[in-house]
Amino acid sequence: MSDYQFWSSRYKQQASWTRETRNFIINQISLPLQANILEVGCGSCAVLDEFTESGHNTVGLDIDFQILKYSIQNSSKASLINGDGLSLSLKNDFFDICFCHYLLLWIDNPVRILKEMSRVTNKTGWICIFAEPDYLSRIDYPSPLDKLGQMQNSSLSNQGVNLSAGRNLQNWLMQAGFSNIHWGIYGFHQKVESHSINADSEWATTQRDLEKLYSVEEILKYKEIEDNARTQGFRILFIPTFYAYAQI
């Protein structure tokens, strides 16, 4: 599996996690029919394509040209732009909704990118931050899987991730000049299963992070502990994930 195949699959999984709450947000803001919609950091268009399929006019922007190329090859119908969200080459006051999804944790200056999203959104439109995790608040159980969580956090931090992005959404929106700010945290419901596709994907992502800092032997040690905990039905992994939406 190529990196782009892996991440496309991962993004689709993340989109499935957030779909119910995204639908709630869209119902709250009364999105127009055939709205003009921009996603900043669209990746493989896992979320954006849902809006495209609903008949909206969709534009996706990403700094990674290759993932946009991958999206086109895999039938995305959105208009895609290779560009930097910190400096959008788009006209003012055009979009009805501008959103991001698991993006701001990677951004050094999230307030600046929110201001750019504001600039290209019309005065009655909305900015939606559909999902940003708060890794500093994560819960890993049982011990020593809490150590595994700390190891992954260290790797993510080294990659440039803001581990407390989730809790900062309200503050960032206020700094960017937004009003009518709403925020929340995703609910968490799990069925106890000894094996699941979600668990496999979660471990594959964790392993990719750990490989950047730790030996194969140490990773395999934690994989065995992880598998045993899941088989016995008491593995808990909870990373609080925040959302927010606001107007200018």
Q: pLDDT tens for residues 155-175?
A: 999 999 999 999 999 999 999
> How far, in whole angstroms, is CA 124 from its chain's centroid?
25
- In the chain (248 residues long), the average pLDDT of successive 10-residue segments reads 84 94 95 96 97 97 96 92 96 98 98 98 97 98 96 96 99 97 88 66 90 91 93 92 96
How far apart are the C-alpha atoms of 236 and 192, rounded to whole Å?
A: 10
CB burial string 121-138: b at 16+ within 10 A, e below? beeebbbbbbbbbbbebb
CATH number at residue 43: 3.40.50.150
* Tens-place pLDDT, residues 129-149: 999 999 999 999 999 999 999
Domain span at 143: 3-247
How far apart are the C-alpha atoms of 129 and 39, rounded to whole Å?
A: 10
- Residue recorded with tokens 């040690």: 221
**Total of domains in the chain:** 1
How far apart are the C-alpha atoms of 31 and 211, rounded to whole Å?
A: 42
pLDDT at 211: 92
How far apart are the C-alpha atoms of 48 and 42, rounded to whole Å?
A: 7
pLDDT at 142: 95
Selection from 173, 162, 150 nearest residue 222 by Cα: 150
Which helix (H) or strand (E) segment holds residue 34: the answer is: none
